[in-house]
Structure 1
Amino acid sequence: MSNITPEIEERRVRAKAWFEDLQTRIVAELERLEDEAPPELYIGEAGKFDLRPWTRETGTGGGIGGHFKGRLFEKAGVHTSAATARFSPEMAAQMPGADVDPSYVSASISLIIHPVSPRVPTVHMNTRFLSTAVSWFGGGADLTPMLDRQRSQEAEDAVLFHAAMKAACDPFDPEWHGKYKAWCDEYFYLPHRKEPRGIGGIFYDRHNTGDFEKDFAFTRAVGEAFLDVYPKIVRHRMNEPWTEADRQEQLVRRGRYVEFNLLYDRGTMFGLKAGGNIETILSSMPPMVAWT
């Protein structure tokens, strides 16, 4: 008997619809910011998203890849996906419930934004629903300032971002923010560099309180918090000029981003092993990067 009951399928449909609605609203807000960017700092025409539907090669499903290149945002990706498929034996061994039956359903949204300005932080956010014999949500959001002087926990952008994530967590459980903030700090860490990727945020996985509606509402709150706080940070920073030294520091910091995503990121590994869309999975790579 398959894990995928009508109730699970209905939950996946609801999660998929939410993630696609959030994608639409994030895309619209990023295009507004692109239009608002001051022309004296950001040369050229404002960019628009290129939305590319795709279909899985294994199982059923697919998604919408939202790809962007512009004058304010040098590169961005806002992607959704959904699937009904079976884990490979290697993947099934790592997934709760997949030892009973490797069938699964999933739905997700994932984004990465690499601004042109070194003064505007890079940001990453993803949330997802996955169900085998058990179901759970996962995801989070984290901020990566490009300049060392902006990378302390007391810096203005860090304080604002952490407050937004705390506000998303607290109505559901006042202990969640501390737990998921610490998990984010642990997860987004480069052991070989002995340094964090950014200033953190929250990270959660296999989140299942036993109350689907509560967990789904929490995941929606994380998405709404991101949509509220990141545009505020961009609007605050995008009018600030920068130097060539700032740009070089940004490119080196982006190198750290590449190292983490290719060496440690679970989402990258999962997507590649589960037959996802390579174009969207690797869109997290920045367009220009440097190492020293």
Structure 2
Amino acid sequence: MSSLPPEIEDRRTRAKAWFEDLQIRIVAALEQLEEEAPPEFYPEEPQRFDLRPWTRETGVGGGIGGHFKGRLFEKAGVHTSAATSRFSPEMAKEMPGADKDPSYVSASISLIVHPRSPRIPTVHMNTRFLSTAESWFGGGADLTPMVDEQRSEEADDAVLFHAAMKAACDPFDPDWHETYKAWCDEYFYLPHRKETRGVGGIFYDRHNSGDFEKDFAFTRAVGEAFLDVYPKIVRHRMSEPWTEQDRMEQLVRRGRYVEFNLLYDRGTMFGLRAGGNIDTILSSMPPVAAWT
């Protein structure tokens, strides 16, 4: 179906293999944390991911949806996808290189984790490769603490998370972290609330330095940084008691999460418009939320 050069397909194949390997390792890490959760706070039996292969309804491709509901993580999703398809005329106008040829190939990993404990921050991470006549990477990771005392860049979890993202960026370009951190703060902002979704992280899109190997290595570094830092945050917080007030704060914060993902999130809009899997696209929705 694609009329793109063979080297583009080779790049997508490599990216797809990396994202699928990362999915396996993230799933294993989250399942290990589920096992470690102290029973005095999480008395239910530990659960495991439900891995569901899916096939695209349009174009060629599909992926593996990793769905989870457990005792430590009330809801989580770790999903991979890949596609060979053509943009609609409307979408082609928005994509670099697609005005010449609407064919594209893509591969991605996307995850969301909604912990049961209000003391553990929600986290989101995705990285992707997309190529029309032009190729680029996109993605990032961001942290959303649920209780007031943690919703500051000076809080322990935020400091640790930002340091991990900076360490992923700095070996490739000392300016990237500052640029992509600012982009994250701008992107994950709710204009109607006049507030950010969380404490940020990094966000990048249409990233093409002109050196594919460098950009691919950077995207891998972002995935490795997430896999290293988030389990540390979870282990630090999962034995802390919480109150009903903490839980209500969490549910209200989750409501903000819903508002952002349905009103502003590019990934949600792209996935729905491009014929992606609805179950994986909308798995970012929290299992319970509140508005006051």
TM-score tier (shorter):
over 0.9
Q: Is the 8 A contact 1:3 1:132 kept in 2?
A: no
Question: 1 CA distance for matches of 2:204 and 2:275?
Answer: 23
SS in 2 for 1:252: helix
Identity of paired residues, percent? Answer: 86
CA distance in 2, matches of 1:121, 1:22: 21
The question of whether the paired residues in 1 share the 8 Å contact of 2:2 and 2:104 is answered with: no
- Corresponding residue number in structure 2 for 1:208: 208
Q: Which residue of 2 aligns with 1:259?
A: 259
Q: Give 3-state SS (helix, strand or coil) of 1:180's partner.
A: helix
Runs of 4+ in 1 over 2 A off after TM superposition: none
* Counterpart position of 2:81: 81
State the shift of 1:253 in Å: 0.4
Mapping of residues 221-260 of structure 1, within 5 Å: 221-260=221-260
Query: Is the contact between residue 2 and residue 85 of structure 2 (CA under 8 Å) also seen in structure 1?
Result: no
How far 1:47 sits from its partner (Å)? 1.1
Pairing 1:53–2:53 present: yes
Cα contact 1:258–1:285 (8 A) shared by 2: yes
Counterpart check, 1:92 vs 2:81: no
SS of aligned partner of 2:180? helix
In structure 1, runs of 5+ residues without a counterpart are none
> What does the per-residue CA deviation read over 1:29-88, in whole Å, with 9 as the maximum and x for residues that have no partner?
000000000000012110100000000000000000000000000000000000000001
How far off is 1:23 after superposition?
0.1
Query: TM-score, with normalisation over the residues of structure 1?
Result: 0.99
Match of 2:155 in 1: 155
Q: What SS does structure 2 have at the residue aligned with 1:198?
A: coil
1:7 and 2:2 correspond: no
Output the CA distance in 2 between the equivalents of 1:170 and 1:43. Answer: 42
Matches for 1:34-45 after TM superposition, within 5 Å = 34-45=34-45
Q: Does 1:276 align with 2:276?
A: yes
- Contact map agreement 2:26 2:227 (CA 8 A) in 1: yes
* C-alpha distance after superposition, 1:126-154 (max 9, x if no partner): 00000001000000000000011100110
1:63 paired with 2:63, answer yes
Distance apart, 1:90 and its partner CA? 1.0
What amino acid sits opposite 2:25 in the alignment? R
C-alpha separation between the residues in 1 aligned to 2:9 and 2:2? 12
Determine if contact 2:2/2:84 at 8 Å carries over to the other structure.
no
1:15: Cα distance to partner?
0.1
Q: Which amino acid aligns with 2:29?
A: E
Q: Distance in 2 between matches of 1:193 and 1:171?
A: 36
Q: CA deviation at 1:3?
A: 4.7
How much does 1:2 deviate?
A: 5.7
Are the equivalent residues in 2 in contact too, given 1:64–1:80 (CA < 8 A)? yes
1:158-199 Cα distance to aligned partner (Å, 9 max, x none): 000000000000000000000000000000000000000000
Counterpart of 2:243 in structure 1: which amino acid?
Answer: T
SS in 2 for 1:253: helix
Equivalent position amino acid for 1:81 in 2: S
Partner amino acid for 2:281? Answer: I
Give the distance between the partners of 1:208 and 1:232, measured in 2 at CA.
Answer: 31
Could you say what secondary structure the match of 1:231 adopts? helix
AA aligned opposite 1:17: A
The count of residues paired between Structure 1 and Structure 2 equals 292
Q: Using the alignment, how far apart are the partners of 2:114 and 2:18 within structure 1?
A: 24
Contact 2:188-2:197 at 8 Å conserved across structures: yes
Q: Is the 8 A contact 1:2 1:101 kept in 2?
A: no
Counterparts in 2 of 1:212 and 1:3: CA distance versus 1, 3 Å: farther
Q: Is the aligned partner of 1:196 residue 2:187?
A: no
CA distance in 2, matches of 1:176, 1:47: 38
- How far 1:274 sits from its partner (Å)? 0.1
Structure 2 counterpart of 1:152, which letter? S
1:16 and 2:16 aligned = yes
Q: TM-score when scaled to structure 2?
A: 0.99
Cα 1:284/1:173, change in 2 over 3 Å: same
Decide whether the 8 Å contact of 1:111 with 1:126 is kept in 2.
yes
Aligned mates of 1:219, 1:276 — CA distance in 2: 22
